[in-house]
Structure 1
Amino acid sequence: MKILHTSDWHVGRTFHGRDLLEEQESVLGGLADAVSDERVDVVVVSGDLFDRAVPNAEAVAVCSRVLKRIRHAGAQIVVTPGNHDSAARLGFLGAFAEAGGLHLRTRIAELAEPVLLADDHGPVAVYGIPFLEPETARHALGVPDAKGHGGVLTEAMRRVREDLAARPGARSVVLAHAFVTGGEPCESERTIAVGGVQDVSGSVFAGVDYAALGHLHGQQTLADHLRYSGSPVAYSFSEARHTKQVWLVELGPEGLAGVEGRALPVPRELSALTGALDDLLLRPEHDAVVDHFLSVTLTDRVRPLDALRRLQARFPHAVHVEWRPEGGRPGELRFAERVRGRTDEEVACCFLEDVRGDRPGDRELLLLREAFAAAAREED
């Protein structure tokens, strides 16, 4: 049996305010081609199908079209909710969807009830563990003393292994959305720490043939049977060096037979530029990144006005600008000392100079004095 392991689609997410629905549909729709080309039997999505608990209509429409394409390509689909999804909303009409080959495993009470599939070598049990928020899950699972994510996932996997033991000869796949020890996070993931504890030991997933993990956005291998697929699209500049892939997992007669990566298309590359604004706008060597999403660090001694708009005249997909003047900001680490004993007006002028790189003009000084006078009257 061939399984395509994916996760963290985050349909509906934006990138620094830019809509990504077109890019998401292009990349995710391509999974249907992989299903056809590789003769995939099952596509699994290990959490965060959507980016929000209540996705907008456009995101729902994109997701619906993608799932329909995958199903028409011939694969069964198994989905579990992540920390961004609403399990209740995602599982709505789940029983009806299952009849059409879309299996939504969203209920904690049913996490040990697998999707049962079969190939020439016998049965395959696919268990979907929805994201377990510890405070809620420990009571739902009847383990009130369980600590953090590790505690509730330990109980969830105990139930999975108990059910699996009653199915002799069945091979097994588990979907889970968690931060497993040894994984490397990036900037685009929302923390799932509760009381400072978010890590789960990889040993929790012992006893199954393959654990399809979700939550971390970089593809990673923690063990042969324990892997993150990563997100199919980059959602932060910290992912610029990621190679976005999915895992093609093959189960043989005795269990896990092999895992291979399959690269996904990159709808728009990520790049970073550093330099003075005028140089970035004029130098021809930057032509290569004109169509990339850009994060720009400006080194001008004085903060340029309207920098992002000016950059977008040449780089239409520049989405992030940071000002770090060459040599650092004067007195950057001594601000407290610099303002000690000064008047409110002097402090305000000092602040503006630090932020903008120049002192306020006469008109601005007049406005500041009027504001301080009004504040003094209000205090009196």
Structure 2
Amino acid sequence: MRILHTSDWHIGRSFHGHATLDALRGVLDVLTAQVREQAVDVVIVAGDVFDSAVPAAACYSLLSDVLRGISDAGAAVVVTSGNHDSAARLGFQSALLRDGIHVVTDPLTTGTPITIRDAHGPVHFYGIPYLEPGLVRTLWEGIELRTQREALAHAMGLVRAELAERPGERSVAISHCFVAGVEATPGVERDIQQGGLDVVALSTFDGPDYVALGHIHGRNRLSDRVRYAGAPLHYSFGEAEKPRGSWLVDLDADGLSAVEWLDLPVPRRLERIEAPLEELLTDPRFAGAEDAWVSARYTDAAPQRDPMRRLQERFPFCAVVAHVPAIALEPDGSTYAARVRGTRDDHDLVDAFLAHVRNGVGATAPESALIREVIAEVAAGSAQEGAVASAASAVRASRSGVAS
């Protein structure tokens, strides 16, 4: 049997505010073509099908189109829910789906296999939906589950008990979790704690011939038989160096026989660039990033005016801009009030303020001239107001004397 292991489609997720539905549709069209070209028998989607518990209508349309395409390509599909999915919304239409498309969202079905046969006999697929401890704590009578580690240990216990009744038969487990020993992408895999009791031991998944995992967005091999496929799209710059694709898994009569990585296309490259802003805007060495998603870090000592707009004139797909001074002023512990105490005039006071908020960079020559001009105008205006006030006071006094 030939199995394609994918996960974390995150249908509906944006990339730094930019929609990704069209890009994801294109990538999943390629995945569907691979199913046909590689004569895949079963496609596994290991959780986080949607990015939100309340997906937009277009997200459902995309999912329906892709599942229909995979089915038309000749493969069965087994989908499980992840921590981003609403199990109810993902599973509500499962009874209406065509034969060969299975959506597993009910924790109580854990341990009940979806059995698909090939020339060598049955292969049992044990889908484990995302087990939120707060929701499954007392789901099984007489058992209290306080952590995801405990919940998955119980779930895999049910799987192994069921497998014991099928000696010599092949099996695949599917889970969405964080397994010890895998490196996560900071700020990407949300909502499952990456530490403490919520990290699941690799030994939890002993037993099946293959374990298809979801949740981590990068490709990871924890053992020959336990793997993460990662997401089909890049959803953060932290994933830029991680390939996109899926695992092609072969089972022979005796179990796992081969695993191969199939690359998926990257619709738009991700580039991280760093230099002073003027270099980013003009230096030819950054020309290769002009058609990529860009995360720019400019290293000028002081913040620059309107950097995003200026960068997007050269890099239309610049999505992130950060000011990271090459030399940062070390704080000396003094307060701003202490720094400006004894300042001689208004110009020096403004200059000291600029240095305080701009990493030690005071007024430039043009700024200094403008500051002096504004201060002079304010002073002239104040003097004029004073003269007018004095004249008005004299007039009032004169009128008072005439009246008396």
TM-score (norm 2): 0.83
Alignment of 1:92-131 (within 5 A): 92-97=92-97, 99-131=98-130
Q: Sequence identity of aligned pairs in percent?
A: 42
Q: Which amino acid aligns with 2:167?
A: P
Distance 1:325 1:73, change over 3 A: same
Q: Structure 1 322/195 Cα, relative in aligned 2: closer, same or farther at 3 Å?
A: closer
User: 2:184 maps to what in 1?
Assistant: 185
Corresponding residue for residue 343 of structure 2? none
Superposed displacement of residue 339, structure 1: 3.5
Offset at 1:205? Answer: 0.6
Q: In structure 1, the residue corresponding to 2:203 is in which secondary structure? A: helix
* Aligned partners of 1:2 and 1:251 also within 8 Å: yes
Question: Amino acid of the residue matched to residue 69 of structure 1?
Answer: G
1:355 Cα offset (Å): 7.0
For residues 112 and 352 of structure 1, the distance between their equivalents in structure 2, rounded to whole angstroms, comes to 63
User: In the alignment, is the contact (CA less than 8 A) between 2:301 and 2:359 conserved in 1?
Assistant: no
Q: Secondary structure at the match of 1:294?
A: strand
Q: Which one-letter code corresponds to 1:181 in the other structure?
A: A
**Mapped partners of 2:195, 2:38: distance in 1:** 43
SS of aligned partner of 1:297: strand
Q: 1:340: Cα distance to partner?
A: 6.4
The match for 1:369 is none
Describe the shift of the 1:212–1:342 C-alpha distance in structure 2 as closer, same or farther (beyond 3 A).
Answer: same
2:357 pairs with 350, 353, 357, which one? 353
Which amino acid counterpart does residue 109 of structure 1 have in structure 2? L
Letter in 2 for 1:168: P
Partner residue of 1:31?
Answer: 31
Aligned position for 1:134: 133
1: CA distance, partners of 2:269 / 2:301: 29
Q: How does 1:203-214 map to 2 (within 5 A)?
A: 203-214=203-214
Tell which structure's C-alpha radius of gyration is larger.
Answer: 2
For 1:216 and 1:125, locate their aligned partners in 2 and report how far apart those are by CA, in whole Å.
Answer: 24
Alignment of structure 1 residues 139-178 onto 2, 5 Å: 139-142=138-141, 144-178=143-177
Query: Whole-Å Cα distance in 2 between the matches of residues 143 and 291 of structure 1?
Result: 58
Query: Which amino acid letter does the alignment assign opposite residue 150 of structure 2?
Result: G
- Residues 62-101 of structure 1 mapped to structure 2, 5 A cutoff: 62-97=62-97, 99-101=98-100
Say whether the 8 Å CA contact 1:274–1:297 is kept in structure 2.
Answer: yes
Are 2:336 and 2:356, in contact at CA under 8 Å, matched by a contact in 1? Answer: no
Amino acid corresponding to residue 274 of structure 1 in structure 2: E
Structure 1 residue 60 corresponds to structure 2 residue 64: no
TM-superposed CA distance for 1:357, in Å, is 5.1
Unpaired segments of 5 or more residues in structure 2? 341-348, 379-404
Please tell me whether residue 243 in structure 1 is matched to residue 243 in structure 2: yes
The AA in structure 2 aligned to 1:48 is D
Equivalent-residue separation in structure 2 for 1:351 and 1:92 (angstroms) = 60
- With 170-179 and 281-290 compared, the bigger mean Cα shift is at 281-290
| Corresponding position of 1:337 | 334
Partner of 1:376: none
Q: CA deviation at 1:144?
A: 4.7
Q: Classify the secondary structure of the residue corresponding to 1:22.
A: helix
Contact kept in structure 2, 1:3 and 1:249, CA below 8 Å: yes
Tell me the TM-score normalised to structure 1 length: 0.88
Equivalence for 2:294: 294
Query: What is the Cα deviation at residue 284 of structure 1?
Result: 1.9
Q: CA deviation at 1:189?
A: 1.1
Q: What's the secondary structure of 1:29's corresponding residue?
A: helix
How far the C-alpha of 1:168 sits from its partner, in A, is 3.4
Bigger shift: residues 39-48 or 66-75:
66-75
Aligned-CA RMSD value: 2.5
Contact 2:46–2:214 (Cα < 8 Å) also in 1: yes
Give the count of matched residue pairs. 360
Instruction: State the distance in 2 between where 1:268 and 1:185 align.
Output: 22
2:151 is paired with a residue whose SS is helix
Deviates more, 1:99-108 or 1:73-82: 99-108
Contact 1:122 1:169 in 2 (8 A): no
CA–CA distance in 1 between the matches of 2:360 and 2:141? Answer: 57
Q: CA deviation at 1:287?
A: 1.4
Post-superposition offset of 1:356: 10
Q: Equivalent residue for 2:18?
A: 18
- What do residues 183-233 of structure 1 show as CA deviations (whole Å, max 9, x unaligned)? 110032104129943210011111111110000011011011100001111
SS of the aligned residue for 1:200 comes to coil
Equivalent residues in 2 for 1:248-259, closer than 5 Å? 248-259=248-259
Q: Is the 8 A contact 1:281 1:314 kept in 2?
A: yes
Deviation at 1:54, TM superposition (A): 0.7
Q: Distance in 1 between matches of 2:156 and 2:250?
A: 22
Three-state SS of the structure 2 residue aligned to 1:179 is: coil
CA distance in 2, matches of 1:86, 1:212: 20
8 Å contact kept, 2:355–2:361: no
Shift of 1:300: 1.5
Aligned-partner Cα distance in 2 for 1:257–1:138: 37
Cα distance in 2, alignment partners of residues 107 and 358 from structure 1: 63
Q: CA-to-partner distance for each residue in 1:149-175, whole Å, 9 max, x for gaps?
A: 111100001111112222334211111
Q: Which amino acid aligns with 2:327?
A: G
Give the letter aligned to residue 312 of structure 2.
Q
**1:126-156, Cα deviation, whole Å (9 max, x unpaired):** 1110111112222113465434211110000
